[in-house]
Amino acid sequence: MELLNFIGGEWIEDASLQTMPVINPANGEQLGTIPLSTKSQVELAAKKAKEAQRSWALVPAPKRADYLYEIAFKLKEKKEQLAQTLTKEMGKVIEEARGEVQEGIDMALYMAAEGRRLFGETVPSELPNKFAMSVRAPIGVAGLITPWNFPIAIATWKAFPALVAGNTVVWKPSNETPFMAYELAKIFEEAGLPPGVVNIVFGSGPTVGTAIVEHPDIRIISFTGSTTTGSKVAELGGKHLKKVSLEMGGKNAVIVMDDANLDLALEGILWSAFGTAGQRCTACSRVIVHKDVKQELEQRLVEAAKQLTVGNGLDPAIKVGPVINKAALEKINHYVQIGKQQGANLLLGGEILTDGDLANGHYFAPTIFTDVEATSILAQEEIFGPVISIIEVSSLEEAIEVNNNVKFGLSSSIFSQDVNKIFKAQQLLDTGIVYVNAGTTGAEIHLPFGGTKGTGNGHRDSGQAALDVYTEWKSIYVDYSGKLQRAQIDNNA
């Protein structure tokens, strides 16, 4: 199927554009093509979005929200079909794909409810017969740039708060996962969203992404992806004085203390490390374990990870699907080789899987290293695959130090039954998300989502915090005294 750009409410055919294939990572099947757009498609999308924004901002927020309710109902109706398509283009197992679509539904309902809140503040003025308030105002056109690992959830985390707040959108999805963008666009159309309110431009990051970041009419950029790309976006966006919200890489850790419930820790680690084949931004990539329980935990982890079935995620018996493409497979393998060379002890996996049908897709074996140095490359860099490094520590203080001593700060977790340790840890772990007695994944959409240090630049997706990304504060003073009243002067004479 040939996917087209969606601009100004129309599917734009343009035979002059080159196309690129979209491949199912589970079996190499070609699912369709996308156009490799140029700067001129971004310019058209920005123009349509700017034109649409004037009237969209004047639609009362509760009425804008009605579109989101409609979108939520349509997402719900199509949940299974969307989940199947998501698994085909991205690879995650079907149960997780259903969960991701549900995240989109939850976000639509949550942000729709914001249409009747969007709270501002009223405060007393320091002068008589004067009223003071602050309201949230839309910024204008929002440029959204999204990755492939959560192709529907992340798009909804960004688009829905942007829309309910009165912005319009130019969105560049990842080339690996354009079908979710296509499906969402169809839903927007069916929900009757006015033309130009959401525009989708497919194409390469350096061409389409750069054109979005540079475009003078796109005033807010919301990016999720790798820290390398995010830094470029921040640099260019900064040069053009834009608001830039960045959600980037992670190197998340589960801490297992000597008093932990090991059954629970085991489940939490397996789910966080090998779910989505380790390609969640919040994936557990390090296990920081107290020396007294290390041997038992690693033995049990290896036994449990051996049972994980690897294959096409459409089969409900499969627990670990493919990784996104050949380049990802090679990158993961590269890190595994470095780990071996640097003396980490490989307990399980460590190889590309090519048996039978697996040869047609991109599969990496669930991999466990132990005795990993906390400062080694394996324990420091984002691998984005089903690979964990076990690091031994002797105390809670050392565990926290190891957790924090990486350049990223997205998610961390601690397993312990000691309330004192737990409260100390939640205070000192320097990540944007902390889990207690649960793995590093499992965010709920009504809480802020994002990270510190190399993971972000202080903004958050999701929750109320997302509204801060897509709105400006406007302070309004209404003087009904009928005379000039000077603040700081007339009331202090």
37 forms part of the interface with ligand NAD (CB under 6 A)? no
Give the relative orientation of helices 396-404 and 419-428 as an angle to the nearest 10 degrees: 20
Q: Are 383 and 285 in contact (CB under 8 A)?
A: yes
Distance CA 321, CA 279 (A): 10
Phi, psi of 392 (to 5 degrees): -90, 140
Structure tokens that stand for 281 in this block? 């931004």
Distance CA 205, CA 144 (A): 12
> Which one, 88 or 172, has the nearer CB to ligand NAD?
172
Q: Are 207 and 19 in contact (CB under 8 A)?
A: no
229 forms part of the interface with ligand NAD (CB under 6 A)? yes
222 forms part of the interface with ligand NAD (CB under 6 A)? no
What is the smallest separation between the CB atom of 7 and ligand NAD, expressed in angstroms? 17
Distance CA 290, CA 308 (A): 25
156 forms part of the interface with ligand NAD (CB under 6 A)? no
Let me know if 51 is a catalytic residue.
no
Distance CA 74, CA 68 (A): 10
Q: Which of 21, 192, 206, 343 binds ligand NAD (CB under 6 A)?
A: 206
Q: Which of 226, 231, 333, 404 binds ligand NAD (CB under 6 A)?
A: 226
25 forms part of the interface with ligand NAD (CB under 6 A)? no
Distance CA 115, CA 56 (A): 13
Closest chain position to ligand NAD (CB): 205
Binding marks (x or -) toward ligand NAD, 375..414, rule CB under 6 A?
A: -------x-x-------------------------x----
Q: Are 433 and 451 in contact (CB under 8 A)?
A: yes
Give which of 280, 229, 247 is closest to 385, Cα–Cα. Answer: 280
What is the smallest separation between the CB atom of 420 and ligand NAD, expressed in angstroms? 30
Q: Which of 12, 22, 145, 358 binds ligand NAD (CB under 6 A)?
A: 145
Q: Which of these is catalytic: 70, 281, 284, 392?
A: 281
> Which one, 396 or 443, has the nearer CB to ligand NAD?
443
Q: In the beta sheet, which residues pair with residue 204?
A: none
Q: Which of 23, 101, 185, 233 binds ligand NAD (CB under 6 A)?
A: 233
Structure tokens that stand for 300 in this block? 């049990």
146 forms part of the interface with ligand NAD (CB under 6 A)? yes
Neighbouring C-alpha atoms within 13 Å toward the C-beta of 371 = 8
Binding segment for ligand NAD (CB under 6 A), chosen from 13-21, 84-92, 130-138, 202-210, is 202-210
Let me know if 70 is a catalytic residue.
no
What is the smallest separation between the CB atom of 18 and ligand NAD, expressed in angstroms? 16
Three-class SS of residue 279?
Answer: coil
What is the smallest separation between the CB atom of 225 and ligand NAD, expressed in angstroms? 3
Residue type (1 letter), 72: A
Q: In the beta sheet, which residues pair with residue 368?
A: 348, 388
Distance CA 262, CA 297 (A): 7
Size of the site for ligand NAD (CB under 6 A): 31
Query: Which residues in this chain contact ligand NAD in the complex, by CB under 6 A?
Result: 145-150, 154, 172, 174-175, 205-206, 209-210, 213, 224-226, 229, 232-233, 247-250, 281, 382, 384, 410, 451, 455
Question: Which residues belong to the active site?
Answer: 247, 281
